[in-house]
Structure 1
Amino acid sequence: MTIKQRTFTPQQYGKVAVLFGGSSAEREVSLNSGNAVLQALTAAGVDTIAFDPAEKPHTGLLDLKVERAIIMLHGRGGEDGTVQGALEWLGIPYTGTGVLGSSLAMDKIRSKQVWQALGLSTAAYHIAEKSRFDARSCGVIIQNLGNIVMVKPAREGSSIGMAKVTSAKQLEAAVTDAFNYDNHVLIEQFIEGPEYTVAILHGQALPSIRMSTPHVFYDYSAKYQDNTTEYFCPSGLNAEQEAQIGKLASDAFAALDGSGWGRVDVMQGNDGRFYLLEANTVPGMTEKSLVPKAAKQAGLSFTDLCLEILATSETGRAERVFGEEVRP
């Protein structure tokens, strides 16, 4: 696989702020990602500084004479378009997806609605709104969705607030808990089959990864705490399936106005069909994270990957059209 080459040397980026930490529920993961990236870029010769928006205002970037920002903030305030908008207002180039795409991808419900409108395969679902949720409807909802569902806060990451349920009583409890994280909750048909993820870099799909865990599902603990999760890259798909899942992920990312780098999560049903779960515009970059594993399979070291991510700040926001990327 050939990855687009950087046009800047590490020194030409000027002073680069690595934004990490923040105040979202994913702060701990963000700290781990940011520290790993900070160390790699510094070792590569980039003039880097650490910047935690939870500790100082964004305008502090101007006081520090920052010339670029690499965003390693996960969750709300960093992955939802908020910090992207702040950086655009400050006139500081930044990595990855812009305001619109970040906001869309952060919202699992809006993402599915966009994919559905474009004919991209995704599981059946129901939307629960806190202001008018009727617990008496749980029986009908779960029956209509095949009797096994995933409950997900619409705008949280790292599987926070998620649950797999198999009864109306469990569904009521799971939705009530998810409302602690978001006023809108996605109730999604459970797809029985293997789970995959596809990293996107410079508009290209990297080799897919298959995850296997003894947990009920690929939850926060399976992602970041346990050593029981297995990762397979190559994933075991044949060449035709690999091309299929890569195109689906690339199209899904582009449909949400994704840019630069990211990750798309996919399930394969027992029918062999791939179903989109969600897109991540600032995926994890910890030692257990998936994008570095895919990049390694594509021939990129962790440091090279960090430099490629930094390179997504070179040309500013890309103009997106479905299925392709057009850069000025």
Structure 2
Amino acid sequence: MVNSKSKVAVLAGGIGSERQISIASGRCVADALEQAGFAVVTADVRPDNLDILGDAGIDVFFPVLHGEFGEDGRLQRILEAKSLLYTSSGSEASELAFDKMASKKLFDDVGVATPAAVEFVSGIDLPRLEDQLSDLAGKYVVKPVRQGSSVGVTIVSTPHEALRAAQETFGEFGNCMIEEFVPGREVTVGILCGRALPIIEIRTQSDFYDYDAKYVDDQTEYLFDTITDPALAATISRAAIDCFDVLGCRHFARVDFVLGDDQIARVLEVNTIPGFTSHSLLPKAAAKAGLSMSDLCTRIVEAASSSLAGHKA
């Protein structure tokens, strides 16, 4: 059983494009857990540097690696193979959530709306794909199937531009997707231990909440209580929980939506290890719910202690 004397290893850094954000998240989590009384060690982990996993004195591992080798299930499979107790979703749920096309299919299964999309893979019939895209009105969003933090995302206006962008994205990241661009408000819902935290609306100076808007632009706004219709707010929160559940997530996550002009919230993705800096969305939502960063991280560690080591949920 985990208690305030337990030793927690915060795993950060990694090899993904969000490495520096992960390091910042790791510092904040470590500080929060130390304030709560835990013994904390931090480690910058990579596939070729996992020595910390051999420390028999660690009670719980707290990964805050974003993107590749953090949210894609690879690190989780290693932890499970060693029967180590850790926070965040298991390997199968992580892998599903990281694959935007695979997760879309599951969202459809539970009736949660999501923007229409087609996958761009090796050997695809380009003329046929261009015809398919012509059936989608408006702009297109081209993005890697397996990346995070809006890395590699492009917005274009025509099917021809979408195909060209997809070819470039495929060359850099592998399989990608062309998704309909849904104009509207970007909102996000944090999930903590199966419950929805207060909804945050994100207002940016750009067309969408891209990497710069997240980490560079000081003009990005994060607003609470902007969805004034209680029924709509409840629907969005319920949809977030449904997405969390259908993927098999556990402990915490963040679910991103676009709320269209038709007042339909369409899910964009589920982040199984969102940011944990003081400016990140999950801690902001937790604070709105009355939880400090120490409270948030403590609850997550306690949730892990009630899970079986190696649990694949």
Whether TM-score is above 0.5 comes out as: yes
Conserved in 2, the CA contact under 8 Å of 1:125 and 1:145?
no
Kindly indicate whether residue 70 of structure 2 is the aligned counterpart of residue 78 of structure 1.
yes
- AA aligned to 2:241 is S
Identity of aligned residues (%): 37
Q: State how far apart, in whole Å, the 1-side matches of 2:241 and 2:179 are.
A: 22
Q: State how far apart, in whole Å, the 1-side matches of 2:265 and 2:143 are.
A: 20
Q: Secondary structure at the match of 1:223?
A: helix
Unaligned runs of 5+ in 2: none
| Aligned counterpart for 1:58 among listed residues 24, 44, 50 | 50
Q: State how far apart, in whole Å, the 2-side matches of 1:113 and 1:182 are.
A: 21
Q: State how far apart, in whole Å, the 2-side matches of 1:181 and 1:34 are.
A: 28
Taking a change above 3 Å as real, the CA distance of residues 56 and 65 of structure 1, as seen in their structure-2 partners, is farther
> Paired residue for 1:211?
202
Kindly indicate whether residue 10 of structure 2 is the aligned counterpart of residue 37 of structure 1.
no
Shift in Å, 1:163: 1.0
> Paired residue for 1:178?
169
Q: State how far apart, in whole Å, the 1-side matches of 2:312 and 2:20 are.
A: 33
CA RMSD of aligned residues (A): 1.9
> Paired residue for 1:244?
235
> Paired residue for 1:92?
84
Q: State how far apart, in whole Å, the 1-side matches of 2:218 and 2:52 are.
A: 39
Shift in Å, 1:312: 2.3
Q: Secondary structure at the match of 1:285?
A: coil
Q: State how far apart, in whole Å, the 2-side matches of 1:126 and 1:141 are.
A: 8
Conserved in 2, the CA contact under 8 Å of 1:161 and 1:177?
no
> Paired residue for 2:224?
233
Unaligned runs of 5+ in 1: 1-6, 321-328
Q: State how far apart, in whole Å, the 2-side matches of 1:84 and 1:119 are.
A: 28
Question: What is the total number of aligned residue pairs between the two structures?
Answer: 311
Deviation >6 Å, runs of 4+:
none
> Paired residue for 1:25?
17
Between 156-165 and 34-43, report the one with greater CA deviation: 34-43
Q: State how far apart, in whole Å, the 2-side matches of 1:86 and 1:79 are.
A: 13
- AA aligned to 1:163 is T
Kindly indicate whether residue 187 of structure 2 is the aligned counterpart of residue 196 of structure 1.
yes
Kindly indicate whether residue 251 of structure 2 is the aligned counterpart of residue 260 of structure 1.
yes
- Counterparts of 1:100-119 in structure 2, within 5 Å, are 100-119=92-111
Q: State how far apart, in whole Å, the 2-side matches of 1:38 and 1:56 are.
A: 23
Alignment deviations for residues 240-276 of structure 1 (CA, whole Å, 9 cap, x no partner): 1111110000001100111110010111111111111
Name the TM-score, length of structure 1 as normaliser: 0.89
Kindly indicate whether residue 107 of structure 2 is the aligned counterpart of residue 128 of structure 1.
no
Q: State how far apart, in whole Å, the 2-side matches of 1:145 and 1:10 are.
A: 54
Conserved in 2, the CA contact under 8 Å of 1:138 and 1:169?
no
Shift in Å, 1:170: 2.4
- Whose RCO is larger (CA < 8 A, sep 6+)? 2
